[in-house]
Amino acid sequence: MNYIEPHGHMVSRTTDDYERMAIAGCQAICEPAFWAGFDRASADGFYDYFRQITEYEPKRAAKFGIQHYSWLCINPKEAEDLALADDVIALIPQFIDKPGVLGIGEIGLNKNSRNELKIFEQHVQVAQDYDALVLIHTPHLEDKLKGTRLIVEALKNFPKIKPERVIIDHVEEHTIDHVLDHGFWAGITLYPESKCTPNRAIDMLEQRHAEQIWMNSACDWGISDPLAVPKTMQAMRQRGWTTEMIQRVAWDNPRKFMGQCEKFKL
């Protein structure tokens, strides 16, 4: 069955991964800008990274018949350095009109600091100025609850940002209701250790009737599985899900959210 991988850091993955994803039915991969596993020394590092995700990765994906889209920002892990963050945000206008760029992301918080919050708000302002979609990363583990609440609070100061054009990613059982009840989309990340297993993801999908939710592997340079989405689709089958409902989560939902940007054509 065809599916969309709405969150994959393919710069960290091998070409073999593209091939395996294509064989599993992946038709499109969306790549948010994120941490590269190390702190970049200057905005030049981000300039090259933005070129990589907007120019080079789409070509690599196309060899396997996969569409590749991207999102731009400086991620919260590197946003503690305000001067660097300003320089990187200043690069966004050069790239935002490129064919596969869907919006601003993955912005958000990491350790819930004042500087992270400040840079988050600057990015939301850019998204508002360009009427762009927004993809938000929520912090890990013990920091997730607080970070999710701070993010939802901060978004209230941007009345022109419509909740249905924002996805708040990496939700878990203690944050999903807060996100969906405020009208935002929610992303569930299938990560072997630190985020969510297929069964927990399916539990949450059932509780919320799979509305305004997508699931992703967030595969990156860490322990992660680029085939987590098709594996979860298989687990849905074993749990009695109909083909139509599996397709709604793996295909219709991400297509509906990203289709709000006219550049997303699938």
Partner 1 sequence: MPDWTPPTQVNLVDLGFMDSRSKLIDLAAFLDRVQRAGQEGDFRVQALKNAIALLSQDQPQRAKDVLLSFSDPSSTPVEKAAMQGAIGAYKK
- Which residues lie near Zn ion (CB under 5 A)? 34, 218
In degrees rounded to 5, what are phi and psi of residue 102?
Answer: -95, -25
In degrees rounded to 5, what are phi and psi of residue 212?
Answer: 55, 40
- Judged by CB under 8 A, does residue 121 bind partner 1? no
User: Residue 243: which of Zn ion, partner 1, none does it interact with, CB under 5 to 8 A by kind?
Assistant: none
User: Residue 58: which of partner 1, Zn ion, none does it interact with, CB under 5 to 8 A by kind?
Assistant: none
- Judged by CB under 8 A, does residue 83 bind partner 1? no
Smallest separation, CB 145 to partner 1 (Å): 4
- Judged by CB under 8 A, does residue 225 bind partner 1? no
110-to-55, 119, 237 alpha-carbon distances in Å: 28, 12, 35
Q: How many CA atoms lie within 13 A of 157 on its CB side?
A: 12
- Judged by CB under 8 A, does residue 55 bind partner 1? no
- Judged by CB under 8 A, does residue 114 bind partner 1? yes
Angle formed at CA 207 by CA 133 and CA 187, multiple of 5 degrees: 25
- Judged by CB under 8 A, does residue 157 bind partner 1? no
Q: Which of 6, 26, 95, 112 binds partner 1 (CB under 8 A)?
A: 112
Angle formed at CA 96 by CA 94 and CA 102, multiple of 5 degrees: 165
Query: Any idea which residue has 């600091």 for tokens?
Result: 113
How many residues of this chain interact with partner 1, rule: CB under 8 A? Answer: 41
- Judged by CB under 8 A, does residue 156 bind partner 1? no
How far is Cα 76 from Cα 86, in angstroms, rounded to an integer?
13
Q: How many residues does the chain have?
A: 266
Query: Which residues of this chain interact with partner 1, rule CB under 8 A?
Result: 77, 80, 110-117, 139-146, 149-150, 172-174, 194, 199-200, 203, 206, 209-212, 236, 238-242, 244-245, 248
